Amino acid sequence: MNIVSPSLLAADAGKLEREIISIQVFGAHWAHIDVMDGHFVPNLGFSPSITAMLRKSVNIPFDVHLMTSDPMKWIPVFKDAGADIISFHIEAVDDPMPLIDYMLANGIKPCIALKPATPAESVFPYLSKLFMVLAMTVEPGFGGQKFMPEMLPKIESLRKEIERQGLQTHIQVDGGIDGITCSQCAKAGADVLVAGSFFFKSYNRNAVIKTLKNAE
Ligand code: DX5
Ligand code: ZN
């Protein structure tokens, strides 16, 4: 079974508390929270205070996706806001190791995110220390974009290297995941599926979660 992490970016912002509760009620595993700084990507996302407010409404893990410059500045802030898992973009740092070590020492599950143009190999030296690799399947910044099928070989090579090293590292995909692309990603080796529009814009959220969990 895949891990499912609905992205709150596509939720009804006027009913955020109800929306995050629906993630838990429909049986998704994690809540995906997009953080953007208007600099690393041309958009703004969720703040630490909204994250901390939402933390009181559910007990599923918070999967925080930092799309920011200087991610080290935000890791402690979102840790205090209740993050369990934090992804930072490798393109935003010179050396990922201090960030990974900080997270491991502070009870946060460390993840590295890759933009579409960043090769799989860039994360290979860090795989053994990572909880997860996030392979973006759209350009980061906005929900509702079209899935990039040219990312599938990258997911395959990540899975191959994780197996070659004998690791359990998760592979998360984020962007344009729907009832068709979820299977393509699962076949390629992804085991954590983020879905914004597919979950929040659906009239049958129960069916969406089932589809994503069972995609293969
Ligand atoms: C995009 C965000 C995604 C986004 C996905 O930069 O990282 O998490 O919300 O939205 P959908 O699933 O609608 O493509
Ligand atoms: Zn995201």
Task: Write the pLDDT tens digit of every residue in 2-30.
Answer: 999 999 999 999 999 999 999 999 999 99
Tokens of 7: 């992205």
pLDDT at 180: 98
What would the DSSP string read from start to end of 162-196? HHHTT---EEEEESS--TTHHHHHHHHT--EEEES
pLDDT at 105: 98
- Catalytic residue flag (residue 174): yes
For 150, other C-beta atoms within 10 Å of its C-beta total: 9
For residue 177, give the ligand 1 atom closest to its CA: 12
Mutation test residue for ligand 1: of 174, 178, 209, the one with most atoms within 8 Å of CB: 174
Task: Write the pLDDT tens digit of every residue in 80-90.
Answer: 999 999 999 99
For residue 195, give the ligand 1 atom closest to its CA: 12
Determine whether the shortest distance from the Cβ of 7 to ligand 1 is under 6 A: yes
Residue type, 2: N
Q: What domains does the chain contain, in order, with CATH numbers?
A: 3-214 (3.20.20.70)
Percent of the residues in the chain that have a pLDDT greater than 70, as a whole number? 100
Tokens of 68: 């920011």
Task: Write the pLDDT tens digit of every residue in 102-151.
Answer: 999 999 999 999 999 999 999 999 999 999 999 999 999 999 999 999 99
Distance from C-alpha of 156 to C-alpha of 9, rounded to nearest angstrom: 27
- Catalytic residue flag (residue 101): no
Distance from C-alpha of 148 to C-alpha of 153, rounded to nearest angstrom: 11
Determine whether the shortest distance from the Cβ of 6 to ligand 1 is under 6 A: no
